[in-house]
């Protein structure tokens, strides 16, 4: 309920910023065709978000986009971002995307920044997660590990007092021996059981170009790049959270000690070389908001001692995206647009990937944290389902409901989506069943063609996910 309220508030708040322009510019056929922007244009955006994992987030992102004839969708686009949340997630970044960089035929993308997950999630590796049990553990409704008492619970008097059977069998015992850990004590000691703290400065650079200007390869492009990352991981075991009376138990990473646990002892590098090949027939001027075409890519990422890393693994990702303009005639007459889009993604990781990288999904354009969050199955927390093999199918309906000319032009796009997918430890284990599913919808604002704001909420069988982000998911 709270998520739905926050989502509604976010939409209303944004509408109060953007909708007044509609008083001065009617949408639809009464408006002349919108001229293509020229020169340097700035768009500054407040970043406002809410999620159960990260809390309330606030920040700012400022775009500078330079438009020039014969460059599509733009010649340069740069942005700077500051963002942090009340639960300690931080993402600060500077980015540059340049077509025909310094007169060369190459497109260059450079990103540098700092990402911190104060409550990064680790649920282990499996397609068969007992989500109800996980929620009971975090809420203090079920003791685990060192919180388990050898004497059965008799009665829960209150959140602060839980009697065990010794209260009846041995009434003369000291009071503390007649008590099991209370619900509040369990909640204080176990609410971080699936969390850890991850700090990561990063730098990425890629270059790409089309294989040919015309002919059968005119829609084929290649990509070469590098990713430099330095991780530091901190366990919550033994810490006492603000407002809690008891210290944290050991967390799941302390018990499993997965590959990468050594990052709790010192900084660890995960540097990679990236290679990609893609077929992209999307309209060039609508690369970020396509209504037609196919965008499919094969992406490889290699990590090892040769790249200055502490771990060695290879990650292979294949993605197929397709877009269809299915606008019926009555909507076309009203200058509306209805697009059906889908994405099929599969990723396989070979080698000793650390647990904080195993769930990372990277394509030539997108990234996600396992099959959850706003980049996977959009009804589960990030990293809910992680393993060596991850597959997901996403579908979306995008209806451009109306347009206004305020602030350089804004399209209001209503969104509906349905996602399903699963993970497996190997090809042999993968089967076309036991899929996890989620459905949802929301609103996207397309501002000056190349700034896209996404507000959406999805729900699965046991969880839900609300997010405020930028760009289409695919």
pLDDT at 1: 40
Q: CA-to-CA distance for 388 and 459, rounded, in angstroms?
A: 25
Integer CA distances (angstroms), 342 to 39, 398, 451, in order: 34, 11, 21
Q: How far apart are the C-alpha atoms of 31 and 404, rounded to whole Å?
A: 9
> Pick the residue with more confidence: 470 or 444?
444
**Cβ atoms within 10 A of the Cβ of 268, count?**
20
pLDDT in tens, 344-403: 999 999 999 999 999 999 999 899 999 988 889 999 988 999 999 999 999 999 999 988
The pLDDT tens digits for 226-284 are: 999 999 999 999 998 888 889 999 999 999 999 999 999 999 999 999 999 999 999 98
Query: What are 398-418's pLDDT values in tens digits?
Result: 999 988 888 878 999 999 999
- The reported pTM is 0.83
Longest dimension (CA), the chain: 91
- Residue 70's DSSP bridge partners are none
In the chain, CATH 2.40.160.50 covers 2-122+194-470
43-69 as b/e: b if 16+ CB within 10 A: bebebbbbbebbbebebebebebbbee
d(CA 147, CA 456): 38
Partnered with residue 337 across adjacent β-strands are 400
Of residues 162 and 16, the one with the higher pLDDT is 162
| Short-list 357, 375, 53, CA closest to 191 | 53
Per-residue pLDDT band at 38 (split at 50, 70, 90)? confident
Percent of the chain scored above 90 by pLDDT? 57
**pLDDT for position 257:** 96
pLDDT at 52: 63
Quickly name the fold that domain 2-122+194-470 has. Porin (2.40.160)
Q: How confident is the model at residue 53 (pLDDT cuts 50, 70, 90)?
A: low
Enumerate helices (H) and strands (E) in the chain, giving the number of each: 7, 22
- Predicted pLDDT at 24: 36
């Amino acid at each position: 309920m709270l998520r739905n309220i926050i989502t509604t508030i976010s939409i209303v708040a944004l509408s109060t910023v953007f909708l007044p322009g509609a008083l001065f510019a009617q949408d639809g056929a009464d408006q002349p065709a919108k001229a293509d922007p020229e020169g340097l244009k700035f768009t500054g955006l407040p970043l406002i978000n809410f999620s159960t994992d990260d809390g309330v987030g606030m920040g700012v992102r400022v775009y500078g986009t330079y438009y020039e004839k014969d460059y599509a969708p733009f010649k340069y686009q740069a942005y700077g971002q500051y963002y942090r949340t009340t639960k300690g997630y931080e993402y600060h970044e500077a980015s540059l995307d340049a077509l025909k960089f310094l007169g060369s035929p190459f497109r260059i993308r450079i990103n540098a920044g700092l990402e911190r997950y104060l409550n990064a999630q680790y649920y282990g590796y499996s397609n068969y997660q007992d989500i109800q049990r996980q929620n009971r553990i975090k809420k203090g409704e079920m003791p685990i590990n060192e919180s388990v008492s050898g004497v059965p619970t008799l009665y829960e008097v209150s959140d602060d007092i839980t009697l065990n059977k010794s209260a009846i069998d041995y009434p003369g015992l000291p009071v503390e021996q007649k008590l099991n850990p209370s619900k509040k004590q369990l909640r204080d000691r176990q609410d971080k059981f699936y969390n850890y703290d991850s700090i990561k400065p990063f730098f990425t650079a890629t270059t790409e170009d089309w294989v040919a200007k015309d002919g059968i390869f005119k829609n084929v492009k290649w990509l070469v790049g590098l990713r430099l990352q330095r991780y530091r991981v901190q366990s919550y075991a033994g810490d006492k959270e603000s407002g809690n009376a008891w210290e944290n138990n050991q967390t799941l990473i302390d018990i499993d000690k997965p590959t990468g646990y050594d990052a709790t002892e010192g900084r660890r590098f995960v540097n990679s070389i990236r290679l990609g090949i893609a077929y992209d027939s999307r309209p060039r001027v609508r690369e970020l908001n396509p209504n037609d075409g196919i965008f499919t890519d094969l992406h490889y990422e290699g990590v090892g001692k040769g790249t200055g890393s502490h771990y060695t693994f290879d990650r292979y990702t294949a993605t197929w995206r397709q877009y269809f303009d299915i606008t019926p005639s009555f909507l076309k007459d009203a200058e509306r647009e209805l697009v059906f889009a889908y994405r099929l993604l599969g990723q396989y990781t070979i080698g000793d990937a650390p647990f904080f990288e195993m769930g990372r999904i990277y394509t030539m354009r997108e990234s996600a944290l396992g099959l959850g969050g706003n980049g996977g199955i959009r009804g589960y927390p990030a990293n809910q389902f992680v393993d060596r093999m991850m597959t997901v199918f996403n579908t979306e309906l995008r209806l451009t409901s109306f347009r206004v000319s305020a602030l350089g032009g804004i399209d209001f796009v209503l969104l509906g989506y349905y996602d399903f997918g699963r993970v497996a430890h190997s090809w042999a284990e993968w089967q076309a069943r036991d899929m996890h599913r989620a459905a949802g919808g929301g609103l996207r604002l397309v501002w000056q063609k190349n700034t896209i704001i996404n507000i959406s909420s999805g729900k699965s069988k046991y969880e839900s996910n609300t997010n405020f982000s930028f760009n289409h998911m695919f």
